[in-house]
Amino acid sequence: MKIVTVVGARPQFIKAAAVSRKLREEHQEVMIHTGQHYDPNMSEIFFEELKIPHPDINLGVGSGSHAKQTAEMLVGVESILLKENPDYLMVYGDTNSTLAGALAASKLHIPVIHVEAGLRSYNMLMPEEQNRVLTDHISSLLLCPTNQAVDNLEKEGIIKGVHNIGDVMCDAVLFYSGLMEQFDRTYYFDRVKSLYEETDQVQAWYLATIHRAENTDDAGKIERILNAFEAMDEKVIFPVHPRTRHFIDGLYQEHQYKNILFIEPVGYLDMLYFAKNAKKVVTDSGGLQKEAYILDTPCVTVRDQTEWVETLKGGFNVLTRPDTEEILDKVNHVNPDQSMRSMYYGEGDAAEKLCRLLRG
């Protein structure tokens, strides 16, 4: 079978890394990169490090308003689909690249495979919620990561073509953690040590990422979040997403934060090392919440809702408002109950299950 896959944003490269390796053993895959993420450490680094086949086409759409970005992707994907005439179009997750890919195919009556279908925050103000609801409603094969996602779809009347295959990101965490562990420990030791300016002593750290529009696009919120990081009892390693960068630069002039190690976005293996060995994770990332769960690092999520509700059972992950005192309180008190741990996200064989379904 011929499958055109559309990716465009950082987490989609990691998901594609898990799936493409298996998919290409049996099928022809044509990969379109929309160009939504384009900085080398938001895109190229993953193709190099994770040995993902390089995209066959890069539409080079770049940044812009939601309408401009999505519209340019739609036009670009449509022209490739007309040329390639695939059996399926495959998309991941909930970004503008996801919706554009799915919509272009659906209008051409090319069946859509949605990987990570059925997730809901029930907050329609989030662009991601709009993207995932619309994509689910025009998909033919809805590959859910959890039973909860299957239930969510059923509530919207979507039953046909729905399968729980487990989470492809769980495949990625398990596979690449193995690779990460094979590296010489001094590489990571030196990597962390290089972040500390004043001491050779590598101590414990927290890992933080913040990039949701709802947290970054409000100067007051991001300042309250950074004030919490500044007051934490260990250094905070903070790989800064480009969306967040310019808000932080302004605040840095004012506060000269001492406890926060601001760094450029890092590759996936570094990220797995930082997350696995962190005292705790503080984030608003969907992917990182789940990685923290799988790697058994307690997590505090700076959001009002999460799509990954399983992580909340047993207190492995707790939600907080972007309020300095509340973040500090949650970080100090997050205390997972290990007896509640379960394999909600599968056993690392989601890509294999996806291929089995395509075999029919």
Annotated catalytic sites, by residue?
A: 211
Residues 6+ apart with CB under 8 A from 318: 299, 300, 301, 312, 330, 333, 334
| Residues 73, 104: Cα–Cα separation, whole Å | 9
* Count of positions on this chain that bind ligand UD1 (CB under 6 A): 17
| Residues 254, 231: Cα–Cα separation, whole Å | 16
| Residues 307, 305: Cα–Cα separation, whole Å | 7
Residue 348 makes contact with ligand UDP by CB under 6 A: no
Residue 288 makes contact with ligand UDP by CB under 6 A: yes
Residue 10 makes contact with ligand UDP by CB under 6 A: yes
What's the token pair of residue 199? 């001491």
Taking CB under 6 A as the criterion, the residue among 3, 6, 7, 9 binding ligand UD1 is 9
Residue 131 makes contact with ligand UDP by CB under 6 A: no
Q: Which is nearer to ligand UD1, 63 or 194 (by Cβ)?
A: 63
Residue 168 makes contact with ligand UDP by CB under 6 A: no
β-strand pairing of 235-239 with 205-209: parallel
Q: Which residue type occupies 105?
A: A
Q: Which is nearer to ligand UDP, 81 or 207 (by Cβ)?
A: 207
First and final C-alpha spacing in the chain: 12
| Residues 298, 280: Cα–Cα separation, whole Å | 5
For ligand UD1, the binding residues in 206-225 under the rule CB under 6 A are 211
Taking CB under 6 A as the criterion, the residue among 286, 322, 346, 348 binding ligand UDP is 286
- Looking at the DSSP assignment, which residues form a beta bridge with residue 224? none
The label of the residue with tokens 């059996």 reads 87
Residue 20 makes contact with ligand UDP by CB under 6 A: no
Provide, rounded to whole angstroms, the least separation between the CB of residue 149 and ligand UD1.
17
Q: Which is nearer to ligand UD1, 152 or 215 (by Cβ)?
A: 215
Provide, rounded to whole angstroms, the least separation between the CB of residue 131 and ligand UDP.
11
Taking CB under 6 A as the criterion, the residue among 63, 79, 305, 335 binding ligand UD1 is 63
Residue 43 makes contact with ligand UDP by CB under 6 A: no
β-strand pairing of 112-115 with 28-33: unpaired
Q: Is the CB of residue 20 less than 8 Å from the CB of residue 90?
A: no
What residues line the site for ligand UDP (CB under 6 A)?
10-11, 14, 209, 211, 239, 265-266, 268, 271, 285-288, 291
What residues line the site for ligand UD1 (CB under 6 A)?
9-11, 36-39, 42, 63, 94-96, 127-128, 211, 242-243
